[in-house]
Structure 1
C-alpha cells in the first residue's frame, strides 16, 4: 500500500515502495489526487506496465531543447534555422515538463501561429518538437507514458511550394546592376547546374574538374556525395574565374550571396519601374517581383526537364532524394514543350 501523509507545507505526499522497484514519491495539493495517483501507479506495477516517469517529469521542454542543441544540432545542415525554431519552442513551452505538454496545448499553439506565419513554417516547428520527443525517448531513455504528444496533433497541410521561375531577361537585368564582382558568375553557374547556395559558395577548386566537366560535392544537404555535370556554359564561366589563394571558387558566404542578390533584384526592379514610367508605359506587374536566390535552383531544375532528361537523371544532378519534392521544382513552360509534342 502507498503511504500518504500531509507535509508541513500543507501539501500531500504519496510514496510507493515495492520490492524490485525504485521508491517513488510525488506531491499533490489535494489528498484525493495523491490517492488516485498511488492507485493508478500500483495498478501499473501489478500488471507489469509500470515504467519510471521521474526523468519525464523533471525534464522540461527547455532542458530537452538545450540538450538537442548541444548533441544533435551540430550534425544538421540547416543549423541556423533549427536554432531559431528551438528558441521559439523554449519561449512557448520552456517551463513545461515533457510529460505535462499535451496535444491540446500544441494544437492551440498551431492555430495561433497560423494567424501570422505559413502552414509550412508551423509544420517545421512542430516537426522539430516531435523529433526532440523521439530523441528523448529513443536515445536518452526518457519515458513519456502516452508517447510524444505531437503524434496526436494534426499538422497544417503542406503548401504548394514556390512556382517562381526566373527568365534569362530577368537574370540579365539583375546581374547588370549588381555591385558584386562574384555574383554574376555564381548565378550563371547556379542556373546551369541546379546546385544549392551552400554547395556553390563552399566549392573549392580541388573539387572542380574542368577537363571532365564535373564538380564533385562530398558533403551535401542530404549527406550523400554526388557529382554534378557541367554544361559548356558552366565550364566556361568557371574557367574565367580568377583563382583565389584560399582555394575557394567564390569568396561569398551563403548569406552574403543572398543579400547581394536581393539588393540587385530590388535595384533592377526599381530601374524597370522608372524606365517604364518615363516612357509613359505601365511597369510589368510580375517583372522581378518575389525573386529569391533559391529560385535559380528551381529554374535550373525545370530547364533540365525541358532538355529532355528523365526524373532519375535530374535527381542525380540536383541531389533530390524525394521524387515528390523534385516534382514541385518542375514547372515546365508549355511553349517549350510544343515542338516535342509534334
Structure 2
C-alpha cells in the first residue's frame, strides 16, 4: 500500500514550496512543487502507479499483434465475434500499431494509427471501429490471459480523437431503391437464374426480404417447423439485439405476398430458404454492378420494407413487430426514409 504526505517548506527567499513524499513497501521518493494542488496530484498519481505495478508485476507482457493473435485463436471468444469485428481485428494485425507492447500503448500511438487510416481514405466511423474493437480485445487481456494491457488509455484518447475529427459516428443512411431500379434488379436476377443455372431463387428472396423486413441472415435461417400457416406467422430465432446475443426469438407476421412466396418454396430442406446468405448477396451485387446501380446495398431492402409499412399507415409499434426493433427510436431514425409524395395517396383515402 502506497501513501503520500505533503510537507510545506520555506525557501531562502521566503517562498513556500511543497514537498510530496511518497512511501511504499519498496521504498520512498519525493518531489518538490510550487503549488500544493500540483504536489497533491503528483502524489495521487504516483501512489496509483506503484499499486498498479504491484498488481501487474506478475502479468505477461506481449505486443498488440500477439494479443490480437491470441484472441483470434481462442475459439470461445472468436466464435461469438461478428464478421465486421473479425475483419477489423485481422486488419489491425497488419498495422504499425500492432508492433507496440500492449502495456505501453499511448494516446499518441492511437492518434498516429487513426491518421494513417484517414490518409488511406478510411472514414471517421470506420476508424472508430478500429479503436472500439482494439479496446475490447485489450480489456480482455488480464482476465483471460493474465496479460498486462493499457486499455485505460482509450478513455483519454477518444475525446481527443473526436476533437481532431479522426473518429466519429456514421452518417444516417437513407438510400432506398427506386421502382425502376427494383424492376431492373428483378429482371437481372431472373436472367442470372436462367443463364447461369442458379439454384437460388433470387427474385423470391429479394421480394421476401422487402416484404418481411428481415435481414438476409434471418431469411436464410427460418425453418418450416417455425411456420404457422393458420396465422401466417413465422418464428424468427436469435434476432439481432445489442443487449442479447442469443435466444431473442420473435413471432413475425408474414404480410402481403410474403406468405405466398414462402408457400411456393419446395420443401426439400428443414429451412424455407436453404441457401448461404453470402451467395445470395454476392449474386445481388454482381447483378447490381452489371446494371450500373450505385450505392445500393442488400440491407437497404430492409429499410425499403419498413418505410413501405409506415407509408401504408402502420404504427411504429406495429412496424417494430415486423422488423424486430426493441428501440423504437432507432427504428424511426435509421430504418425509415419516407417519400413525401406518398402522403398524397394517404390523404386521398382519409
Task: Give the TM-score of the pair, scaled to structure 2.
Answer: 0.72
SS of residue matched to 2:218: helix
Q: CA deviation at 1:120?
A: 2.0
**Alignment partner of 2:341 out of 327, 335, 339:** 335
- 1:98 to 1:194, Cα distance in 2 relative to 1, 3 A: same
- 1:321 to 1:137, Cα distance in 2 relative to 1, 3 A: farther
Residue 160 of structure 1 corresponds to which residue in structure 2?
171
Say whether residues 1:95 and 2:118 are aligned partners. Answer: no
Cα pair 2:63 2:101 within 8 Å, conserved: yes
Cα pair 1:57 1:99 within 8 Å, conserved: no
Say whether residues 1:308 and 2:331 are aligned partners. Answer: no
Cα pair 2:306 2:335 within 8 Å, conserved: yes
- 1:138 to 1:233, Cα distance in 2 relative to 1, 3 A: same
Say whether residues 1:149 and 2:153 are aligned partners. Answer: yes
Q: CA deviation at 1:160?
A: 1.5
Q: CA deviation at 1:48?
A: 5.3
Choose 44-53 or 104-113, whichever is displaced more. 44-53
Q: CA deviation at 1:230?
A: 0.6
Residue 213 of structure 1 corresponds to which residue in structure 2?
232
Q: CA deviation at 1:264?
A: 2.0
Residue 112 of structure 1 corresponds to which residue in structure 2?
116
Q: CA deviation at 1:111?
A: 1.9
Residue 31 of structure 2 corresponds to which residue in structure 1?
none
Say whether residues 1:58 and 2:81 are aligned partners. Answer: no
Cα pair 2:102 2:148 within 8 Å, conserved: no
Q: CA RMSD in A?
A: 2.9
**Alignment partner of 1:171 out of 172, 179, 182:** 182
The whole-number CA distance in structure 2 between the counterparts of 1:72 and 1:231 is: 38
Map 1:9-88 to 2 at 5 A. 44=47, 50-54=53-57, 58-69=61-72, 70=74, 71-76=76-81, 78=82, 80-88=83-91
- 1:123 to 1:193, Cα distance in 2 relative to 1, 3 A: same
Cα pair 2:211 2:256 within 8 Å, conserved: no
Aligned residues: 284
**Alignment partner of 2:264 out of 230, 236, 240:** 240
The whole-number CA distance in structure 2 between the counterparts of 1:140 and 1:315 is: 41
Q: CA deviation at 1:258?
A: 0.9
Structure with bigger RCO (C-alpha 8 Å, 6+ apart)? 1
- 1:183 to 1:162, Cα distance in 2 relative to 1, 3 A: same
The whole-number CA distance in structure 2 between the counterparts of 1:46 and 1:234 is: 62
Q: CA deviation at 1:298?
A: 1.3
Can you list the C-alpha shifts for 1:259-290, whole angstroms capped at 9, x where unaligned? 11112223444xxxxxxxxxxxxxxxxxx332
Residue 130 of structure 2 corresponds to which residue in structure 1?
125
- 1:46 to 1:55, Cα distance in 2 relative to 1, 3 A: closer
Q: CA deviation at 1:299?
A: 0.6
The whole-number CA distance in structure 1 between the counterparts of 2:279 and 2:125 is: 25
Residue 228 of structure 1 corresponds to which residue in structure 2?
252
The whole-number CA distance in structure 2 between the counterparts of 1:258 and 1:194 is: 15
Q: CA deviation at 1:143?
A: 5.0
Choose 129-138 or 94-103, whichever is displaced more. 129-138
Cα pair 2:61 2:147 within 8 Å, conserved: no
Q: CA deviation at 1:142?
A: 4.7
- 1:182 to 1:137, Cα distance in 2 relative to 1, 3 A: same
- 1:309 to 1:141, Cα distance in 2 relative to 1, 3 A: farther
Cα pair 1:44 1:50 within 8 Å, conserved: no
Q: CA deviation at 1:218?
A: 1.6
**Alignment partner of 2:295 out of 290, 306, 311:** 290
Structure 1 unaligned residues grouped into runs of 5+:
1-17, 22-39, 270-287
Task: Give the TM-score of the pair, scaled to structure 1.
Answer: 0.73
Can you list the C-alpha shifts for 1:133-155, whole angstroms capped at 9, x where unaligned? 222355555555x6522222234
The whole-number CA distance in structure 1 between the counterparts of 2:318 and 2:106 is: 45
